[in-house]
């Protein structure tokens, strides 16, 4: 990604708001993604990064949450800080503003409704058990490579009725979307996803059937059928939404339990705590950041955000700001917050439609892992390393038991 360039500060941005902070490479993020972002909490609530063309960053919890939820002044429709991403991907429903967004979102919500997620539970459990068995009675693994990068992707492919063998083709695409390394242009990335999906999109438009895409495409949009273009943009959105985010979440949960043996033991002693633990771990380890486009000049935190400015909103800044949550860095299974209060899954009209699926997967993974794997910890000398980006994720997590 582009380096900081002093020229990327427009006149309306005060000089004292400028930070040397590239969202794709926050200082120290490879060792600790969360701590690297939290360094911004010491300064003003809105700062300006000159990297990647120049953009605002929400640097206080309430500011991140308020802008995220304010679809009238902060649109999701056009550009993203990742160069080219917004214009090229044109995701449905992610890049639609209300009211256009509503009927598409309703269709996706119907397709992901609770009963369909409940129906997936035995498949998720069987997949978790099979991956654990595949560890072959050994005494350690790279949790990312051997488990986290497989289960959620296979579950998504099962939901859309596609062979799970395709995982190896699709997984790198998810990584390029959220942590681009320059090896593919955004257009190449979109085309790779579309070429893969095209036969399925066409088939489901003709004969929807009962899989996820079919369920969504059979819901009319304002009393008319979906066009091919709309169907393709929606399937593209779901594909990318389901590929990388759960991988990142599972990695952080296992890292926490590996490094906090008392929390691990509590869940072994009382597995009924697992759903609350999952909610709290999801709050504590948020990895997604989003971009909004200002469409109306707005005074916030003593500065003017001008129409046309981009604002980057990291959920980590909201969830781990002590002004948002009491002792936010502490994992407290008794916290019992409604998941809607934190921004791990976003807030406002675009809040994640996959939240129920992600939570179900996490609960089943912890249940099965703790039931089968003895007390585990980080392997001797292992240093977890993170890859920052729009979804920050561990690149490897060597565990032993």
Any contact of residue 352 with ligand HEM (CB under 6 A)? Answer: yes
Q: How many residues of this chain interact with ligand HEM, rule: CB under 6 A?
A: 24
Contact 355, 344 (CB under 8 A): no
**Residue of 17, 55, 65, 105 interacting with ligand HEM (CB under 6 A):** 105
Beta-carbon contacts of residue 52 (< 8 Å; ≥ 6 apart): 1, 2, 22, 23, 24, 81, 82, 83
The nearer residue to ligand HEM, 68 or 333, going by C-beta atoms, is: 68
Any contact of residue 85 with ligand HEM (CB under 6 A)? Answer: no
In the structure encoding, which two tokens stand for residue 37, read together?
């972002």
The nearer residue to ligand HEM, 140 or 346, going by C-beta atoms, is: 346
The nearer residue to ligand HEM, 354 or 384, going by C-beta atoms, is: 354
Any contact of residue 314 with ligand HEM (CB under 6 A)? Answer: no
Gap between the Cα atoms of 336 and 333, Å rounded: 7
Gap between the Cα atoms of 209 and 217, Å rounded: 10
Any contact of residue 350 with ligand HEM (CB under 6 A)? Answer: yes
**Residue of 345, 363, 364, 397 interacting with ligand HEM (CB under 6 A):** 345
- Quick check: helix, strand or coil at residue 316? helix
In the structure encoding, which two tokens stand for residue 71, read together?
């679809």
Angle at 281 between CA 328 and CA 174, to 5 degrees: 115
The nearer residue to ligand HEM, 50 or 252, going by C-beta atoms, is: 252
Any contact of residue 82 with ligand HEM (CB under 6 A)? Answer: no
**Residue of 61, 86, 140, 346 interacting with ligand HEM (CB under 6 A):** 346
Rg (CA), the chain: 21
Gap between the Cα atoms of 58 and 312, Å rounded: 6
Closest contact distance (angstroms) between CB of 249 and ligand HEM is 4
Any contact of residue 249 with ligand HEM (CB under 6 A)? Answer: yes
Tokens 């500011």, residue?
Answer: 63
Any contact of residue 357 with ligand HEM (CB under 6 A)? Answer: yes
Tokens 């998810």, residue?
Answer: 174
- Find the Cα–Cα–Cα–Cα dihedral 123, 129, 133, 134, rounded to 10°: 40
- Quick check: helix, strand or coil at residue 163? coil
Closest contact distance (angstroms) between CB of 364 and ligand HEM is 14
Closest contact distance (angstroms) between CB of 322 and ligand HEM is 21
Residue numbers at the binding site for ligand HEM (CB under 6 A): 76, 93-94, 105, 108, 156, 237-238, 241-242, 245-246, 249, 288, 290, 344-346, 350, 352-354, 357-358
């Amino acid at each position: 990604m582009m380096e900081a360039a002093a020229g990327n500060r427009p006149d309306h941005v005060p000089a004292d708001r400028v930070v040397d902070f590239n969202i794709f490479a926050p200082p120290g993020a490879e060792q600790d993604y969360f701590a690297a972002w939290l360094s911004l909490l010491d300064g003003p609530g809105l700062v300006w990064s000159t990297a990647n063309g120049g953009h605002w960053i929400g640097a206080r919890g309430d500011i991140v949450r308020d802008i995220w939820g304010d679809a009238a002044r902060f649109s999701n429709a056009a550009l993203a800080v990742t160069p080219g991403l917004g214009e090229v991907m044109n995701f449905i429903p992610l890049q639609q503003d209300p009211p256009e967004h509503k009927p598409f979102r309703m269709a996706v919500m119907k397709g992901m409704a609770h009963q369909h997620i409940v129906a997936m539970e035995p498949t998720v459990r069987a997949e978790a058990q099979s991956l654990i068995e595949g560890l072959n009675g050994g005494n350690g693994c790279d949790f990312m490579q051997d488990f986290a990068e497989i289960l959620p992707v296979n579950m998504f492919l099962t939901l859309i009725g596609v062979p799970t063998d395709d995982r190896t083709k699709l997984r790198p695409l998810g990584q390029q979307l959220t942590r681009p390394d320059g090896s593919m242009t955004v257009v190449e990335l979109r085309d790779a996803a579309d070429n893969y999906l095209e036969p399925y999109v066409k088939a489901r438009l003709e004969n929807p059937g009962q899989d996820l895409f079919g369920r969504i495409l059979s819901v009319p949009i304002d009393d008319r059928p979906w066009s091919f273009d709309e169907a393709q943009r929606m399937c593209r959105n779901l594909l990318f939404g389901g590929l990388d985010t759960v991988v990142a979440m599972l990695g952080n949960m296992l890292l926490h339990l590996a490094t906090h043996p008392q929390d691990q033991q509590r869940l072994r002693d009382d597995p009924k705590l697992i759903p609350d633990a999952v909610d709290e771990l999801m709050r504590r380890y948020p990895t997604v950041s989003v971009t909004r486009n200002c469409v109306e000049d707005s005074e916030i935190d003593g500065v003017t955000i001008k129409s046309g400015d981009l604002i980057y909103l990291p959920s980590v800044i909201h969830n781990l700001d002590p002004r948002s949550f009491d002792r936010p860095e502490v994992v407290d299974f008794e916290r019992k917050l409604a998941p809607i209060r934190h921004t791990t899954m976003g807030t406002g009209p675009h809040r994640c439609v996959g939240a129920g699926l992600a939570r179900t997967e996490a609960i089943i993974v912890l249940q099965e892992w703790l039931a089968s794997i003895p007390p585990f910890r980080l392997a001797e000398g292992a240093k977890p390393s993170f890859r920052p980006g729009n979804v920050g994720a561990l690149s490897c997590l060597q565990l032993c038991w």
